[in-house]
Amino acid sequence: MQPGPDDLLVRFQAGDAAAFDQLVSEMGPRLKGYFLRQGAQNATAEDLTQLVFVRVFQARQRYKSSGRLDAYLLRIAHNLWIDSRRRKRFLTGGDDLPDAVDSSPGPAEEAVAGDRASVLRAALGRLPVETRELLELAVLQRLPYQEVSEILDIPVGTVKSRVYYSLRKLRDKLAVLEPEADQDGTSSGSLS
């Protein structure tokens, strides 16, 4: 989603009501996935995704197309995620507790327990929140490092080095978990 004539919010500002619907249908699943990968439960992820679009709608007249639209939406999502975690910490009186009460795997989770994607999700879930969010934006959302830097409010060089070292640590953790890895550390499903 690049700025310009295809920017859905610019079209919406100009009176194209269908552009906002298109924005919701295109970015809704991506934003929900962002919240889920940050650790939110499904209902919380849906609520936060809806809040992103409420904020966008409320600020539609102030929007200036100066960068990528997806980065703009992910910045709002990032801020909402931080706010929700703060609020949860305040309400629970301390530690940031997970949304889930029952952490035992259900039938669907047991069915995919051996799945590589499940192993990767578990490894990502064990990373510190800051690292997980950095990898989410830079690797999974494929945002340019400059935009990740702006969203997380850290220097671009810090983004580059943290992504590099985080991916290296993740590869090392996954190599231990992946028995079919070759001697040189490569396998058919390595993170390259």
CATH 1.10.10.10 intervals, the chain: 115-179
Residue 114 has a pLDDT of 55
Query: How confident is the model over 124-161, as pLDDT tens digits?
Result: 888 888 888 898 889 888 889 999 999 899 999 999 99
**Could you tell me the pLDDT band of residue 38, with boundaries at 50, 70 and 90?**
confident
The distance from CA 74 to its chain's CA centroid, rounded to whole angstroms, is 8
Neighbours of 168 (CB within 10 A): 11
pTM, two decimal places: 0.62
Using DSSP, how many helices (H) and how many strands (E) does the chain show? 9, 0
Domain 115-179 has CATH 2.40.30.330: no
- Fold designation for 1-97: Rna Polymerase Sigma Factor; Chain: A (1.10.1740)
Least confident residue range of 61-70, 109-118, 160-169, 180-189: 180-189
User: How distant, in Å, are the alpha carbons of 34, 54, 87 from that of 80?
Assistant: 12, 11, 10
CATH 1.10.1740.10 intervals, the chain: 1-97
Percent of the chain with pLDDT over 70: 73
